[in-house]
Copies of this chain bind each other. A is one copy, B any other.
């Protein structure tokens, strides 16, 4: 089992009564609750509150073992994984290596832009945003100060929308109190979206609500804005427009883990590997691929790279492994879409869940409840809840530390 994300973890847990020895491999020792990563990036939560060590999560499970290694190559013929700690053989393999930030070959963005896929990414954004304010306070030149205080988020999907909303609230509700000499008119937050839609998965009414809410929070939402280059000082759009900005957060895409490229199988879009309806690799019934790394179409569209797909695939694979061992026929995977949720700040969210279309305060409450329920570990739930309450009532963000490297 490769990867302790939503898919790998769910599969490992669902196999607890199956007569197999589960060995979970991950380069990190923890499972990360990625949907709240943007809150770490905006100083609302501490990294330890949205992550939990894999060993601690699956501690009671008798047939479970964990190894902190990086898997570098998969050899289907030899049934062997090459890892940072030497080769590991397998009988059955579940690949759930997840995804990474997709810069679409934009090298300058890869160098100067900030992705948001892991804890170090989130800490880097937090450090950059807070440091920009400290530097702006020291900057006598007005143009340079404005560039320091211009924050660009690229990508109008859930990550970009949530990031832009949280960033605006961090600055306009919290940091203004820390920087009484700051001229808030020097601050700009832009959300650049290449198409003419935010949150494309949502129905139009909710998309419109999301855009309006962001605008009311002083986020300049730009549609049809494609990035052509970024040199760390100014971002250049395909239209020819140039915006000086010291901070660009890239939330415009994900692609499958680079491990996929070692499999020797032609990849589909975003580096994802096409799998059978049973999530097996064609020609290798002992290998399953799930989550962001797998490519499946359903109802004519590819399944999205989101946590619910990975979780359901993990459950499906665990069931199919049990069937495989008892000689039964495998069942095809069928994704049940439970909907989409995105929050845009305090009291504001959009939700399209089980056919229910909500926006504003009711959607926000639903977002809170669902995320608290899904967080792993009672302690994490409690701490996140206290932090949110604190933020809500006192307009404070606790984790405003700049941690030097």
Contact = CB atoms under 8 A, between A and B. Distances in A.
A9 to B, nearest CB: 15
Contacts of A48: 46, 398-399, 401
Contact of A404 (B28, B181, B379, B390): B28
Contacts of A179: 55
Interface in A45-67: 46-49, 51, 53, 55-56, 59, 65, 67
Number of copies: 2
B401 A67 contact: no
Given A46-B46, A55-B179, A403 B120 contact: yes
Contacts of A49: 46
A118 to B, nearest CB: 8
A171 interface: no
- Classify chain A: how many residues form its interface, as a range: 35 or more
Nearest to A51: B401
22 contacts: A27-B404, A28-B401, A29-B130, A29-B134, A29-B400, A30-B401, A30-B402, A46-B46, A46-B49, A51-B401, A56-B396, A59-B177, A67-B134, A67-B137, A68-B134, A68-B138, A69-B138, A85-B135, A120-B404, A379-B390, A379-B398, A386-B386
Given A29-B130, A48-B399, A67-B138, 16 more contacts: A28-B402, A29-B400, A29-B401, A29-B402, A30-B400, A47-B401, A53-B178, A53-B401, A56-B178, A56-B400, A59-B177, A65-B181, A68-B131, A69-B138, A379-B390, A383-B383
